Amino acid sequence: MLLTKSNYLLGLQCSKLLWVAKNDKQRIPEPDKIAQAKFTEGNIIGVLATKVFEQGIDLSGLDFNENLDKTKQALKERKPIFEAGFLVNDLFSRGDILFPAREDEWDIIEVKSATQVKEVNLYDVAFQKYVYEKAGLKIRNCILMHVNNQYVRDGGIEPSELFILADVTEKMVEFSEGIEERIKEMLELIKSKEKPKCAIGVYCSNPYDCALKDECWRGVPEESVFEFYRMFKKKCFELYSEGICCMKDVPEDIMLNDKQKIQRRLACDGGKHMDKLGIKNFLNNLKYPIYYLDFETINPVLPKFNGMKPYQRIPFQFSLHVQDKPNGDLKHVSFLAEGVSDPRPKFMQALKDNLADKGSILVYNQSFEKGVMNECSDALPEFKEWYEENILPRIKDLWDVFRNFYYYDPRQKESASIKYVLPAMSDLSYSDMEIGNGALASLEYERITYEENVSDKEKKKVRDALEKYCELDTLAEVEIVKGLGEVVEK
C-alpha cells in the first residue's frame, strides 16, 4: 500500500483521516461544488504555471505506470518536466515542475494558487524532496511558485508576471526533521487492520476542515464550549479534554469575557440576552428611508478584466429593499449582471440610480460592502465623489447589534452571522433554497456566465435562484430590524 504526498499531508493532520483514506475510503464524503471548484482552479493555475518554462515535457494525464516510465525517459533529456512521478519503497510522489539545474542537479518547483507560502506547502515540498532523493535525484533548490497578488492584468494573462518564485530551500531542514520516522509510522498505520482512535482537536480544522469532522463531532453536545463566541480553539479543547463539555459546566474561576459570560448564563438559566438600551440607540441612529442593501461578488484567481488583480472582487449582483417609515411598505430593487463584460460600471450606476441622497444604507458587515464600493470607485473615478461624499457617511452596520451582544439567542450558536441570527428572530430560512450561501452564489454565477455550453434554460434557472437568494439577504435585514423594534417596545 503506497504512501503518496497527499496521504502524507493527511497523516500530518490526523492519523484516523489517513487510515480511513487508505482503508475505508467510502466513509469520506464526496467534495461539494465549492471544493470541486477549488480543485479546478488549482488545476488551471498549475497548467498556466507550465507556460513560464519553455520546451517542457508534459507527463500529466498519464496512468500510473506510464507516468513512471516516461519520467525515467524525460530525466535524460534535461528539460523541465511537468508531473514527474517517482516510486521508491512504498512511497510515491508526483511534483508540479522538476527543473534541470546545473550539471546533474534538479530544482523542485511546487505550484500553488494561494498568494503566499503556507506551512502545509513546506511539508508538501519536504516530502517530495525526500522521495526524489531516495530515488537518486540530486536536489539543488526547492521553490514554491505562488500567485502574485500585485499583478495587474493589461491585455492577456502574462504567466511570467502572474507568479512569484519563493525559494524555500533553507526551510527544508526544519520541515524535513523527523520525516523518515513519520513516514515509517504512517506506512505501519495504513497497513494496520485496526483503525486508530483519535480525540477531536485543533487539527480537525487545521490546516483544512477534515472530511471526517461531522462524523467525529457527533458526540459533542448542544451549547458546548465550542460555541463560546470568539474563544480560542486551543482553550475550547483544553476545557473539553478536562471533561468540561457544556457551557453551563464551566466553573466560575475560568476566565471568560463579558460575552462568553452571557452565553454561560443563558446556558444555565435559559432565555435570551437583550440590551434594550444598546438596541434602542442603534435603531434611533437609523434615518428613514432605510435602504437595506446586500452585494454578491466573485473573486477569481485570474483577473477577468484589465486593471484587475488576482482575487480582486467583482460585484455582479445587489438586492435593495427600500422602506420609507418603520414597518412601512417595501420596495424591492435588484441588479443581476448580464453578459461577459465587466459588470462594475452598470452595477455602480444602478446603485447610484436607486440609493437617492438621504436615508440610512443598512448592510450586514459593512467592511465588505464598503470595500467593494471603494475598489469600484477607484477603478471607476466617475463614481468616487458620489461614493465618498454621499454614500459612505450613510452606511450603518446591522452586524454591530449582534457582535456587540445587544441581542443574543443561544440558537445563534457562537455566530453573529446573518445566517444564524435570522432563524433566531424570524421564520425565514436559507435552508430550503437552491442557492443558500454566498460562495455557491458566486460559483454558480461564474459557471453560467463564463463557461461554454450552458443552456438558456439552465441560465434562467440559476439566475432565478440567485435573485431569490440575494433578495432574502436584504429581506432578512428588514425582518431583523422589525424584530429588534419589537424587543425595544416590550
Q: Are residues 252 and 329 in the same domain?
A: no
Look at residue 353 and tell me whether its pLDDT is greater than 90: yes
Please state, as a whole number, how many other Cβ atoms lie within 10 Å of the Cβ of residue 183: 20
Residues 266, 283 within the same domain: no
Integer-rounded Cα Rg, in Å, for the chain is: 27
Q: Evaluate whether 400 touches 285 at the Cβ level (below 8 Å).
A: no
Q: What angle do CA 52, 57, 62 make, to 5 degrees?
A: 120
pLDDT of residue 258: 97
Are residues 263 and 305 located together in one domain of the fold? Answer: no
CB 124 within 8 A of CB 156: no
Residue-level pLDDT at 102: 86
pLDDT of residue 56: 96
User: Do 302 and 248 share a structural domain?
Assistant: no
Would 213 be classed as within a structural domain?
Answer: no
Mean pLDDT of 90-115: 96
Nearest to 10 by CA among 186, 237, 188, 196: 186
Measured at the CA of 23, the angle between CA 17 and CA 25, to 5 degrees, comes to: 70
d(CA 240, CA 251): 13
Question: Are the beta carbons of 455 and 396 closer than 8 angstroms?
Answer: no
Question: What Cα–Cα distance (Å) separates residue 304 from each residue in 72, 270, 344, 439, 457?
Answer: 39, 51, 12, 18, 25
Stretch 4-19: mean pLDDT: 97
pLDDT at 124 over 80: yes
pLDDT tens-digit readout, 205-238 = 999 999 999 999 999 999 999 999 999 999 999 9
For residue 211, being part of any structural domain is answered with no
Give the per-residue pLDDT at 24.
Answer: 94
* Cβ atoms of 391 and 355 closer than 8 Å: yes
Residue 236 sits in the same domain as residue 109: no
pTM listed for this prediction: 0.93
393 domain residue, yes or no: yes
The reported pLDDT for the residue numbered 369 is: 97
Tell me, yes or no, whether 482 and 391 share the same domain.
Answer: yes
Segment 259-278 shows an average pLDDT of 97
Q: Is residue 205 part of a domain?
A: no
Coil, helix or strand at residue 200: coil
**Structural domain of residue 260, as residue ranges?**
220-270
Boundary residue ending a domain (212, 244, 270): 270
Q: Residue 103 pLDDT > 90, yes or no?
A: no
Same domain, 148 and 266: no
Residues 6 or more apart whose CB falls under 8 angstroms from that of 82 comprise 50, 56, 57, 58, 59, 60, 96, 97
- Does a structural domain hold residue 365? yes
pLDDT band at 133 (very low <50, low <70, confident <90, very high): very high
Task: Specify burial of residue 65 (Cβ count, 10 A radius: 0-12, 13-18, 19+).
Answer: exposed
Residues 106, 241, single domain; the answer is no
Cα of 387 vs its chain's centroid, Å: 28
Split at pLDDT 50, 70, 90, the class of 432 is confident
Whether 132 and 87 have beta carbons less than 8 Å apart is answered as no
99 lies in the same domain as 166: yes
- What beta strand segments (E) does 134-204 contain? 138-147, 163-167
Task: Kindly state whether residues 248 and 383 are assigned to the same domain.
Answer: no
d(CA 41, CA 112) in angstroms, rounded, equals: 10
Residue 361 has a pLDDT of 98
Average pLDDT score over residue span 17-45: 94
Residue ending a domain, choose from 200, 235, 270: 270
pLDDT of residue 1: 86
% pLDDT > 90, the chain: 96
Same-domain check for residues 351 and 433: yes
Res 490: pLDDT: 77
Cell numbers 487510515 correspond to 19
Pairwise CA distance, residues 101 & 169, whole Å: 14
Residue 372 lies in a domain: yes
Query: What is the structure's pLDDT at 273?
Result: 97
The enclosing domain of 302 has a CATH number of 3.30.420.10
User: In the block, which residue shows the cell 498519464?
Assistant: 62
Confidence of residue 43 (pLDDT cuts 50, 70, 90): very high
Q: Is residue 210 part of a domain?
A: no
Helices 456-489 and 438-450 cross at an angle (nearest 10°) of 160
The per-residue pLDDT for 265 is 97
Does any domain span residue 387? yes
- Give the chain's mean pLDDT: 96
pLDDT at 74: 97
Confidence of residue 471 (pLDDT cuts 50, 70, 90): very high
Q: What is the pLDDT of residues 320-340, one digit of tens each?
A: 999 999 989 999 999 999 999
pLDDT band at 94 (very low <50, low <70, confident <90, very high): very high
Same domain, residue pair 254 and 357? no
Query: Residue 130's domain is classified under what CATH number?
Result: 3.90.320
Domain count, the chain: 3
